[in-house]
Amino acid sequence: MAREIERKFLVDGDGWKDGAEKGVRLTQAYLLGAPDRSARVRIFDESHARITLKFGGNAMSRDEFEYDVPWRTHAT
């Protein structure tokens, strides 16, 4: 189990772009959204998937559980 701590930062200028990597194509969907819990599925580069469960009513800090889930790009 991890503890999610929400933080936000204001980025000034475009200097950060030189250090950025290529990135990952991400598709996501929320299965559940409530004030004290959420469930989300993310697919990364159409190659693997992960489900994330978050619990806790405090917007700044919540319990977070992540699990890899089976993913395939075509039927066998």
Which tens digits make up the pLDDT trace of 2-55?
Answer: 888 888 889 899 998 888 888 899 999 999 999 899 999 999 999 999 999 999
Total number of domains in the chain: 1
Asked whether residue 13 is domain-assigned, the answer is: no
Chain-centroid distance, C-alpha 34: 16
- Give the structural domain span for 41: 26-76
- Count of CB atoms situated within 10 Å of the CB of 21: 5
Query: Which pLDDT score, from 0 to 100, does residue 22 have?
Result: 85
Asked whether residue 50 is domain-assigned, the answer is: yes
| pLDDT-above-70 percentage for the chain | 92
pTM to 2 decimal places: 0.75
Please write the tens of the pLDDT for every residue from 41-58.
999 999 999 999 999 877
Asked whether residue 10 is domain-assigned, the answer is: no
Is residue 67 among the annotated active site residues?
Answer: no
**Beta carbons of 42 and 30 less than 8 angstroms apart:** no
Distance of alpha carbon 68 from alpha carbon 45, whole angstroms: 14
End-to-end CA distance of the chain: give it in Å, rounded.
34
Asked whether residue 17 is domain-assigned, the answer is: no
Asked whether residue 32 is domain-assigned, the answer is: yes
Asked whether residue 8 is domain-assigned, the answer is: no
Catalytic residue, candidates 27, 30, 33, 48: 30
